[in-house]
Structure 1
């Protein structure tokens, strides 16, 4: 645990050095434990255990501190109103509910997810969402009453839903219900495994994910490409809004910086290379170079498996794929290796001749069933058992196959023993990446906070426009019908010019990076002052308008 404690940053340091609110902080480290500094309003039973928090900013003295940790394994979303219902009469509850609903809460960025630490592959595969379905899923999520923006990151090791929620508590409940309905996993079971983060903790988590610090193989590079796919697939999707798009683009920047400015990815292994190493471990040493190899799937994962097989000395293999194009491209890249293409219809014929079978397709249903595998002829006596290395989620090899005496099945959750040997060294390298991540977190949070002034700008302009239009109508009615079109236009332009010039100063004070070079703190102070002066009630009214519009749309 000592090495992992470097991933939990001192709360006092964050508050004082970064000016960031760290309440409700939830952190995963790469040994599988996690810490939550609880400020949650949910009523969940808690278990406590100690942890060590450590700061490791460059140039600062390391400081250790032990505090109790709160762990909430259950999921019970309880409204603040509901928790007081027993002590209020129905009339009092009715009077206070409308005010409490939007004054107690504001919009939040949240992530609700599962990963290889919290959830076994048997459940992860049910919750997995293919990349082709991400846009449709975003639209469905944003159709919920309290979800304004959404993004989905679904890989073999995680399925995470990022949202901008108009109401924190209601948003959590809606997303969990949606996940349960889509996957068929009961909410009670889902909530035993899911993790939940809010606001700045979401930013930190995503930046760690993009940097490879939250991966099964610490420092692996494939996850950065998968984060890029989130941005690419979200282009043009209405629910992939400004905050989601901005956060994921900042995460890509953080991931690139960590890989170029630290040595964490030097010699790092991916899930594919770990799968090849696992096969090498499980095969008898004398049989490794002579074992017959079959790779099912020639996509990104399949190509990586082939690449690492070649690096380990494999000179001949059979590749089964739906089409020959990808296999031909791989053969061009590895001209010194004998790669034989076979179609999917020949898969079982090829499997009968293979000692080691790697499966890495995007199939929703298992390709190898127990009834099929038990009919395959036995492998050579020196091999012992036919090995299935299944790195697909959903799995390509059904679980009952492992009951057969003639087969041994390994999935992505079995790769941990392979990467454990190099983890300690990578944990040391990961401390260098933390400073970079915090720099990028601060930049994103400043950018996100600056967006808070946008509703005020819109409200203030709308407020001024209502006054201008009203006074213009009064003026035109007094002037009668003898006013020419050119005169009307001149009067209209005069009213617009006056409003624009009066608003110019306040608008400049609401924009970060304006001519006055104001800080974010000054800009937000100006925003709150204008809200009070003109009684704009921006945040509350924006939330009310958005939620009311969603409810009316869904009722049609």
Structure 2
């Protein structure tokens, strides 16, 4: 796939695909040279046959130095951090920027997403976070008090999590901020950033981020809304454009690759084995059946999923084998597809050295669509075996790229509409603290004047009816007086008022009533960070 290289002022080179560089996109890739000092609590140990094991040291940090640093932030907050709202940023790597060897070290299993989010939110400058980890990408979305310091902390966290030196990581990471970060997630959800433009599985993976977050309560309101709007964008793109027509998934591309590598005369009679019966595995079987393959052996821990697939896909014979027979089944196959969530390789060189030759003495094909990889690269060292992973699927989809790029341009119109909707919602949040403070200010005055009034009337003359009438009168006066100012603090896109006008109104009210909203909101955020650290 062609890439557009961009060098930033920091010397970081962008390797994002050229079809994904809409006019005006800023900060495609940023080198973060500062490092956060707070250690990571999340440990992940990955073993590969062609690389050494790595682990991140787990420790805790509630030292006075850490807290005093946050106290200094609080003291300097009015000058350094209150001039701009918190940034939404994404930092990560994908099939476009990093090889599978690096992606697998950073991959985080779905069951550990919530734990990772908790650790990210413990970082000094990170308020909210989400993790999107698939076979083609590992991306972290954050809301940061200070975007450059926050990204620096996340970079260091990723380095400690994966065991990859930060300097090496930066050669492959991309970073996008605010509108660019939002657009990127919308493009990801719409299938525009996938290996194959328009593929559908990524949308379900974005949905899973929201589902997990709602179940555990780890997603903040900004990230939650961001991902929900991304889901809406993804659905609209697939419903309102033809980008998904004839779309090729990773699973179908794997089948295409296997058939390309087999001799034409043997393609339909080759013996097929699939290890893993998850969503990707089911799609492999579906596409094998569509190509005319009549039989596939499925190796899995249990038979329940295989039985469910057999009930759903009728035009192919599906034979179940337990995991204990995996190597034996591989010895009886010409092509082995692997699609499991295993953190360690299922096949190493030692597993294939003694396998019998294939039926036609051709090389045995291992098509590995898992990240982390299920088949070690060392298997290719054995002359009778060839290994292909997700990075090798690019040649399958290259032929359809031009047509899909044209369809992607149609999708960008929808994405721009959804982006405008999200930004209007986020802009509306900026005035909420001022609205609350103004209402509280008015209520304090009302309460004080009511107390004076009731004192003058006296308890003997103050009946319940009189008290209620006076309270209703004062509430009505306050509400009518506040109606105009509060209306001019709206910034939700429902009227013609611009964001600049709304913010001018907000700052004017802050000055007139000495609300000091911006600084107080920042101090509350920093105080919560200090309390959390201590």
Fold conserved (TM > 0.5)?
Answer: yes
Unaligned runs of 5+ in 2: 37-71
Tell me if 1:405 matches 2:383.
Answer: yes
Report SS of the residue matched to 1:357. Answer: strand
Provide the residue aligned with 1:111 in structure 2.
Answer: 90
Q: Distance in 2 between matches of 1:455 and 1:356?
A: 61
8 A contact 1:124–1:159 mirrored in 2:
yes
Q: Distance in 2 between matches of 1:498 and 1:69?
A: 49
8 A contact 1:102–1:544 mirrored in 2:
no
Shift of 1:308: 0.6
TM norm structure 1: 0.81
Provide the residue aligned with 1:385 in structure 2.
Answer: 363
Shift of 1:156: 0.4
Tell me whether 426-435 or 411-420 shows the greater mean CA deviation.
426-435
Tell me whether 198-207 or 326-335 shows the greater mean CA deviation.
326-335
Provide the residue aligned with 2:132 in structure 1.
Answer: 153
8 A contact 2:35–2:152 mirrored in 1:
no
Tell me if 1:45 matches 2:2.
Answer: no
Tell me whether 350-359 or 136-145 shows the greater mean CA deviation.
136-145
Q: Distance in 2 between matches of 1:151 and 1:410?
A: 31
Which residue of the other structure, out of 375, 382, 393, is the alignment partner of 2:354? 375
Shift of 1:533: 2.1
Shift of 1:540: 3.3
Shift of 1:137: 2.2
Provide the residue aligned with 1:126 in structure 2.
Answer: 105
Tell me if 1:343 matches 2:314.
Answer: no
Post-superposition Cα deviations, 1:320-352, rounded to whole Å, max 9, x if no partner, equal 112211111111222232110011122112112
8 A contact 1:148–1:166 mirrored in 2:
yes
Higher relative contact order (CA 8 A, sep 6+): 2
8 A contact 1:107–1:543 mirrored in 2:
no
Q: Distance in 2 between matches of 1:237 and 1:509?
A: 37
Evaluate the alpha carbon distance shift between residue 32 and residue 48 of structure 1 in structure 2; reply closer, same or farther with a 3 A threshold.
closer
Which residue of the other structure, out of 483, 507, 513, is the alignment partner of 1:504? 483
Which residue of the other structure, out of 32, 35, 43, is the alignment partner of 2:3? 32
Shift of 1:392: 0.4
Q: How many residues align?
A: 497
Q: Distance in 2 between matches of 1:358 and 1:502?
A: 70
Q: Distance in 1 between matches of 2:153 and 2:444?
A: 37
1:280-295 matched pairs, under 5 angstroms: 280-295=259-274
Which residue of the other structure, out of 251, 262, 267, is the alignment partner of 2:246? 267
Q: Distance in 2 between matches of 1:46 and 1:55?
A: 16
Evaluate the alpha carbon distance shift between residue 313 and residue 323 of structure 1 in structure 2; reply closer, same or farther with a 3 A threshold.
same
Report SS of the residue matched to 2:301. Answer: coil
8 A contact 1:142–1:239 mirrored in 2:
no
Post-superposition Cα deviations, 1:11-56, rounded to whole Å, max 9, x if no partner, equal xxxxxxxxxxxxxxxxxxx6332557x6xxxx7236799x999999
Evaluate the alpha carbon distance shift between residue 254 and residue 270 of structure 1 in structure 2; reply closer, same or farther with a 3 A threshold.
same
Provide the residue aligned with 2:335 in structure 1.
Answer: 356
Report SS of the residue matched to 2:198. Answer: coil
8 A contact 1:284–1:383 mirrored in 2:
no
Tell me whether 224-233 or 515-524 shows the greater mean CA deviation.
515-524
Evaluate the alpha carbon distance shift between residue 230 and residue 342 of structure 1 in structure 2; reply closer, same or farther with a 3 A threshold.
same
Evaluate the alpha carbon distance shift between residue 532 and residue 70 of structure 1 in structure 2; reply closer, same or farther with a 3 A threshold.
closer
Post-superposition Cα deviations, 1:338-368, rounded to whole Å, max 9, x if no partner, equal 1100111221121121111000011112111
Please, what is the CA RMSD of the aligned residues? 3.3
Q: Distance in 2 between matches of 1:54 and 1:175?
A: 24
Tell me whether 474-483 or 129-138 shows the greater mean CA deviation.
474-483
8 A contact 1:106–1:539 mirrored in 2:
no
Shift of 1:468: 4.1
Unaligned runs of 5+ in 1: 1-29, 57-64, 80-92
TM norm structure 2: 0.84
Which residue of the other structure, out of 521, 525, 535, is the alignment partner of 2:514? 535
Shift of 1:132: 2.0
Shift of 1:471: 5.1
Q: Distance in 2 between matches of 1:133 and 1:46?
A: 30
Provide the residue aligned with 2:210 in structure 1.
Answer: 231
